[in-house]
Amino acid sequence: MCWSRALLSCWTLLLVQLLCLEAVPISMDKTKVKEPEKTPEEPPASDTGLHYDRYLREVIDFLEKDQHFREKLHNTDMEDIKQGKLAKELDFVSHHVRTKLDELKRQEVNRLRTLIKAKQDLEGGNDIAVDHQALLKQFEYLNHMNPHTFEVDDLDRLIKSATKDLENYDKERHDEFKRYEMMKEHDRREHLKTLDEDERKKEEEHYEEMKKKHADHPKVNHPGSQNQLKEVWEEADGLDPEDFDPKTFFNLHDTNGDGFFDEQELEALFTKELEKIYDPTNEEDDMVEMEEERLRMREHVMNEVDSNKDRLVSLDEFLVATKKKEFLEPDSWETLEQNQAYTDEEMREFEEHLAQQEQDLSLKAFDLQKQRDELERQQEQLNAQKIELQQAVEHMERLKSQKVEPPPEVHVEGNALPEIHAFDNQQHHEQEAQPQGHEPAPHAPQDTLQEHHEQPVEVLAQQGLPQTHQDLPPGHQEAAQGQH
């Protein structure tokens, strides 16, 4: 009986649902509807800034999946890691991890080959054979002679290259910022040179006013101190500063949950302090300087807390640091405006270098202008030669067309012949009519005949006689040639 009632209820519910499919939808009160909870996204992995950052992190992630290697990694001193002692532990890693490392290396080698090929295509060397083995030598973080398997030498190269490159990375960032600051000061000085005395005075007053306005900010806590971390605990985490607990604080801000503060996680802790000094909407605040200040804070904390110099802060290192006097009673923190990024001597050398660069560029521009003028002169010569050649070709075509065209015909009415031919025929009949014994009449003197044949063309034209053989009708040209 219970089963029959349940079955009936199911059929009734199904029928209602089918009817509702055809019904007009009713608007719902969205304020009373619960939205499905979103699964928290994994925090993005921090970037070291190296061009092989992804390869480095994937190798480390898979090595840490091996329990033996993970224990060795956490218990090995940074100096031993730099000397390659940790790399030898690769021989004891499981086969599954080694297979995955081989695959990662092959992918990285293929990526580098693709980059080499793309660079060559941009430089226009599509037809040149690429020696990938020779070009892969520049990437020291892997063994290019063995592109198929990940060996102890590959791990040793990766550790040493990453350590060296990361140390140089911070130095390069500082040098770049110093050049930025000197260039900004140089541009300001050059701008002042273009102003008159009154405008220059106003500009200098405005500059000093902006400097004072920027320096007028709340007190900045010493990075990594108790006061600084408590401020984050209260304002960012929303917790009571009286309940501050270093271990809980560490776990809250270890965003990837790996048990370490990396450089990016540390830099995120200084955002509240930086907001006291820099505001992107203020004219006097420079966001490039803010990032340099963030870098200075992170380096300071690393130097104070990172005891094994592995560029990571473990929980133990963090807890030890919270018991030091520097954590409880820190000195005041000097910001960038209190520490100029460059000296007067460095500024002088920088401006001399800029002047030399400007002079070199002027010489290059002068040489390029000369080359351009010479090319334009050669182009003009080529254009003139081209025009002359075109004219010569047109002239030859005209001459050729004049020779090919038939000469104009002389139209004669009826069967009448020109008088010169009628005169010749009359002489021919008179000679035949004379008796054989009769001596022919004496010919006209040679000079007279010559004068007759040498009559000017104008006289023949006046007499209506043909001037040349070409002026005769087509049928008489051959006869005239035969008589001659």
pLDDT category, 225, cuts 50, 70, 90?
Answer: very high
Q: What is the pLDDT of residue 404?
A: 54
Nearest to 474 by CA among 412, 426, 420, 428: 412
pLDDT band at 181 (very low <50, low <70, confident <90, very high): very high
Residue 43 CA to residue 264 CA, distance in Å, equals 12
pLDDT tens digits, one per residue of 77-99: 767 777 777 888 888 888 888 89
More confident residue, 473 or 134: 134
Most confident residue range from 11-20, 131-140, 371-380, 433-442: 371-380
Q: How confident is the model at residue 158 (pLDDT cuts 50, 70, 90)?
A: confident
Residue 274 above 50 pLDDT?
yes
Of the pLDDT bands very low, low, confident and very high (cuts 50, 70, 90), residue 208 is: very high
d(CA 374, CA 183): 37
pLDDT of residue 152: 87
What proportion of the chain, given as a percentage, has pLDDT over 90?
40
Confidence label for 9 from pLDDT (cuts 50, 70 and 90): very low
Please work out, in degrees rounded to the nearest 5, the angle formed at the alpha carbon of residue 227 by the alpha carbons of 224 and 231: 95
pTM of the complete model:
0.56
Average pLDDT of span 173-201: 94
- CA 69 – CA 420 distance, rounded (Å): 127
Q: Can you spell out the DSSP letters for 151-190? A: -HHHHHHHHHHHHHHHHHHHHHHHHHHHHHHHHHHHHHHH
Q: Which of 103-107, 150-154, 279-283, 439-443 has the lowest mean pLDDT?
A: 439-443
Tens of pLDDT, residue by residue over 18-51, are: 344 344 443 444 334 444 444 444 444 445 667 8
- Is pLDDT above 50 for 8? no
pLDDT level of residue 355 (50, 70, 90 thresholds): very high
Of 37-41, 118-122, 325-329, the range with the lowest mean pLDDT is: 37-41
Average pLDDT, the chain: 77
Q: Which residue has the higher pLDDT, 53 or 278?
A: 278
379 or 468: which carries more pLDDT confidence?
379
Q: What are phi and psi of 261, to 5 degrees?
A: -95, 115
Do 245 and 234 touch, CB atoms closer than 8 A? no
Nearest to 291, CA basis, from 146, 202, 180: 180
- The token duo for 434 is 């004379």
How high is the pLDDT of residue 39? Answer: 45
- Which two structure tokens, joined as six digits, stand for 70? 């993970």
pLDDT tens-digit readout, 439-455:
444 444 444 444 444 44
Q: Label residue 125 by pLDDT band (50, 70, 90).
A: low
